[in-house]
Amino acid sequence: MEKRTLLAFALSLLVLLVWQQMFYKPPQKTKTKETAKTEGAAKPGAETKEKTTAQKVPEKKQIIDKNALLTPPPQKIAGKIVTVDTPNFRAEFSTKGGLLKSFKLRKYRESVEKDSPPKELITIKDSGYYPFLTELVKNSDAAIAYAEYKVSAEKLVVRSDKKEAKLIFSWDSPKGLRVTKTFTFYPDNYLFDMKVTLENTGTESLTDALAINMFNAPYEKEQSRLNANRVVVLNKKGLEEFNEKKIRKSSPVIPAPFKWLGYENNYFITALIPLSEDGYKVSLNLLNESSHLVRTVFLTPQFLVKPGAKTDFEVRFFVGPKDLTVLKDANYDLAKSVNFGWFDIIAKPLLWFMDYIYKYVHNYGVAIIVVTVVIKILFWPLTHKSYESMKTMKKLQPKMAAIREKYKNDREKLNQELMNLYRTYKVNPVGGCLPMILQIPVFFALYRMLYGAIELRHAPFCLWINDLSAPDRLYIGINIPYLGGLPVLTILMGISMFVQQKMTPTGGDPRQEKMMLMMPVIFTVFFVNFPSGLVLYWLVNNILSIGQQYMINKNA
């Protein structure tokens, strides 16, 4: 029984600790097929080739550190605010530089409160650096960054019955350069395009390269290890992740081609999608460690624009939720940003099934219960076999004790007689644990899915549980240290686990019984800050296991 005790203990530790090693590594790399066929840029989701009348010139190797090319901002970004309203978001631009100062998602809120404002994805405060800051690498005209641009409209409304709408910023430099930023918005998704056109209105040729800056800060006020912000790139190698530590250490430069590059957490993503495969590169820098401000620079190839000629560069952006349906509709393999790590192949079907159930029950808590019941039914034969094996082992304890006593000085003979006993009664000494091992991948897949699915963000269940993505807390007017409120669901889970352990045969080993009775306490402490959706799954699974064990004991 020593081996069975050690195996059971190892399994328990695996459930508690394995994700510490597995869930914080870079996502599994998956191969992608590069599409050669391109279509017009007017259709979101279709790739286009860069159009330019300028001549390309040989490009020198450029390494961009965190301060290179970065035009210092004025003390205050003044200028008029221009609003863009679509069915999915509201964006606010400044006429100073044509910078994006606000991007609010209409269908998502900052917090679970009913009067909470729409979710803001531009969380930069007081730095002066905002997305779409445009610069010339050789500093041909530094004023381009924060110049006062003319704008085609002070308010743009993108109606659901229209195909697209354009917002145009333009500025004429005294040095003979006309800069035009054209933003194209679509009514039915979170995609929009940015085209920068440089026209040489002077008398001398312009040789330079264009840098389009993106600045991102954490989407949530409070960061957690399990919902950390990061940069993710989808290229020919697959999905590569750059966390803040890696960006700070190496300031990586990402060469072309890649499908997209995004700043994300579990729930939201700001993705840059190149519409050309020709010569661009992207650098990543951490500008401010205290505010976690990440700078992404999209650097074009060097170009030569003669007097009277012009060149333009176009990129596409997706700024929105990491909802699989929305991402698939947007194309570009953006759906791969929803990555559940090693268990992605199991987690995504579970997510699809949970969403399918939700269509009928309209409550994600109920959907989790249904998913749990279905999983329990599927694993019922394995669990039943496990319980039966443990019961048989318990009945054999007296015979096993006698064999150990008789052959205590002959290890080889002892093992031989024990194996004969197992064969006689057709029992596997680890038969009670092996079926549970098969269920571990499903548990971890559910864990990752329930922790990262945007569907559960602010999704209510019942009574005090109003957010299945957050720990459950019942506030009783007393501030409980380290907890705030009472974790009722977690306590119920611990109690159900204790009842289950008392009903489940352990093979008669006193040491194993003591160890297993410790597990409810350990799990309760460990689960106290887990999402209530995950705790709900575990509680329902325990209740079903208690019912199954009751039926087995009754029919014994």
Q: Which of 224-228, 312-316, 518-522, 537-541 has the lowest mean pLDDT?
A: 224-228
> Where residue 432 falls among pLDDT bands split at 50, 70, 90?
low
The mean pLDDT of 488-492, rounded to a whole number, is: 92
pLDDT given for residue 237 in this prediction: 86
CB contact at 8 A, 331 and 46:
yes
Q: 523: helix, coil or strand?
A: helix
Domain range annotation of the chain: 2-20+351-555, 56-338
The tokens describing 78, both together, are 């003044």
Q: Which residue has the tokens 């039966």?
A: 388
Q: Which of 233-247, 321-335, 381-395, 421-435 has the lowest mean pLDDT?
A: 421-435
Residue 6 has pLDDT above 50, yes or no: no
CB contact at 8 A, 205 and 309:
no
Calpha distance 548→373 (Å, rounded): 12
Q: Which of 55-59, 151-155, 288-292, 344-348 has the lowest mean pLDDT?
A: 55-59
pLDDT given for residue 228 in this prediction: 80
**Which residues, in sequence order, are CB contacts of 128 under 8 Å at separation 6+?**
73, 74, 75, 76, 77
The mean pLDDT of 399-406, rounded to a whole number, is: 80
Nearest to 136 by CA among 51, 213, 77, 192: 213
The tokens describing 207, both together, are 């040789």
Residue 64 has pLDDT above 70, yes or no: no
> Is 519 or 59 the better-scoring residue by pLDDT?
519
Q: Which of 2-16, 264-278, 393-407 has the lowest mean pLDDT?
A: 2-16
User: 56-338: which CATH topology?
Assistant: Beta-galactosidase; Chain A, domain 5 (2.70.98)
**Which residues, in sequence order, are CB contacts of 113 under 8 Å at separation 6+?**
none
User: Is this model's pTM higher than 0.95 or not?
Assistant: no
Q: Which of 64-73, 200-209, 311-320 has the lowest mean pLDDT?
A: 64-73
Return mean pLDDT, the chain.
Answer: 81
Dihedral sign, CA of 399, 401, 405, 409?
Answer: positive
Beta strands in 126-267 (DSSP E): 133-136, 150-151, 155-157, 165-173, 177-185, 191-200, 206-208, 210-216, 230-235, 238-242, 253-255, 258-264
> Is 67 or 491 the better-scoring residue by pLDDT?
491
> Where residue 448 falls among pLDDT bands split at 50, 70, 90?
confident
The tokens describing 265, both together, are 């957490």
pLDDT given for residue 507 in this prediction: 52
CA distances from 78 to 98, 128, 149, 206, 398 (A): 11, 10, 12, 29, 85
Enclosing H/E stretch for 495? helix 488-503
The mean pLDDT of 143-158, rounded to a whole number, is: 92
Residue 484 has pLDDT above 80, yes or no: no
The mean pLDDT of 374-382, rounded to a whole number, is: 85
CA distances from 554 to 176, 503, 550 (A): 90, 11, 6
pLDDT given for residue 162 in this prediction: 79
